[in-house]
Amino acid sequence: MAWRARLLVEYDGTDYAGWQRQPNLATVQGDIEAALAVVFKRAVRVVGAGRTDAGVHALGQVAHADLPASAADYPALCDSLNALTPAAIAIRGVTSVPPGFDARRSARRRIYRYRLTPRRIACERQYVWQVKWPVSLAKLRRCARALPGDRFFTSFCVAKSAAKGTRCCVHRARWLSVEGEYRFEVEADRFVHGMVRSLVGTMVEVAAGKMPMTEFEQLLVTQRRQAAGPTAPAHGLCLLRVDYADS
């Protein structure tokens, strides 16, 4: 007998080759599955809501797994998983869900955050992109205001993944200013591969005066991947939260 469980997972992506299991590489999915295999003495597969890239962090990744354990065992299971996974992974909770719950397919919204700073920093530099030239917060905000809506993000998509469709509905996009740091928060029903980092890289081009605002607006319409700016580094990105119909 197996019950479907939902895992809320935080991780520091610095030393990981991403979420998704890959042979001979350290991955978050791989480490969680290895811990579950120790607990249950059999192979257990976990499915995550978002397959974050190498170096990307998560404060609120969600995954599901079918486990030979019921809700009463979850608090102890959570402790065991935290004892068995490396320090870069924190299982923040294990909860009971109906068998039809699918961490990826049932997700209604995903919220990502990107942190950058225009100044030199030392602490928390594993989580913040240090941009080496001045950027205008006002221009970053003008770019963000152009994002919400249902549109094709082909221009901001890694080429090979465009086949799966590039249409996304962005519900909210904003830049916050927090203690000298700029934080981009974006909420959408789905994201195409590389989208947040490509958007951030391109917005920074605009904010640094290297690309006119009108060109950024054109990219949102013309769907030409090559025209977008460079991709922002992975370590500034974090999967903040995944929302479901019941949450």
Active site residues: 53
Binding residue for its own copies, selected from 3, 4, 10, 223, defined by CB under 8 A: 10
State the DSSP string of 141-194. Answer: HHHHHT--EEEE-GGGS-GGGGGG--EEEEEEEEEEEETTEEEEEEEES---TT
- The reply to whether 176 sits near its own copies by the rule CB under 8 A is no
Residues between 202 and 241 with contacts to its own copies, criterion CB under 8 A:
238
**To the nearest whole angstrom, how small is the minimum distance from the Cβ of residue 154 to its own copies?**
32
Size of the site for its own copies (CB under 8 A): 22
- The reply to whether 34 sits near its own copies by the rule CB under 8 A is no
**To the nearest whole angstrom, how small is the minimum distance from the Cβ of residue 237 to its own copies?**
12
Residues 126-155: x where in contact with its own copies by CB under 8 A, - otherwise, as a string: xx----------------------------
Question: Rounded CA gap, 223 and 21, in Å?
Answer: 31
- The reply to whether 123 sits near its own copies by the rule CB under 8 A is yes
CA 13 to chain centre: 10
Binding residue for its own copies, selected from 67, 77, 89, 207, defined by CB under 8 A: 89
Question: Which span sits near its own copies by CB under 8 A: 84-92, 95-103, 182-190, 196-204?
Answer: 84-92
Question: Which span sits near its own copies by CB under 8 A: 69-77, 124-132, 154-162, 193-201?
Answer: 124-132
Question: Which span sits near its own copies by CB under 8 A: 4-12, 46-54, 168-176, 221-229?
Answer: 4-12
Residue (of 149, 139, 140) closest to 184 by Cα position: 140
**To the nearest whole angstrom, how small is the minimum distance from the Cβ of residue 3 to its own copies?**
23
Q: Torsions phi, psi of 127, nearest 5?
A: -120, 0
Quote the strand ranges of the chain, DSSP E: 3-11, 46-48, 57-67, 89-96, 107-117, 129-130, 149-152, 167-178, 181-188, 237-244
Beta strands 181-188; 107-117: pairing state: antiparallel
Helix (H) or strand (E) holding 213: helix 213-222
Q: Residues in the chain, how many? A: 247
Closest to its own copies by CB, 92 or 164: 92
CA Rg value for the chain:
19
- The reply to whether 82 sits near its own copies by the rule CB under 8 A is yes
- The reply to whether 113 sits near its own copies by the rule CB under 8 A is no
Q: Which residues contact 177 (CB under 8 A, 6 or more apart)?
A: 137, 183
Binding residue for its own copies, selected from 26, 34, 47, 59, defined by CB under 8 A: 59
Per CB under 8 A, residues contacting its own copies are: 10-12, 57, 59, 82, 87-92, 119-127, 238
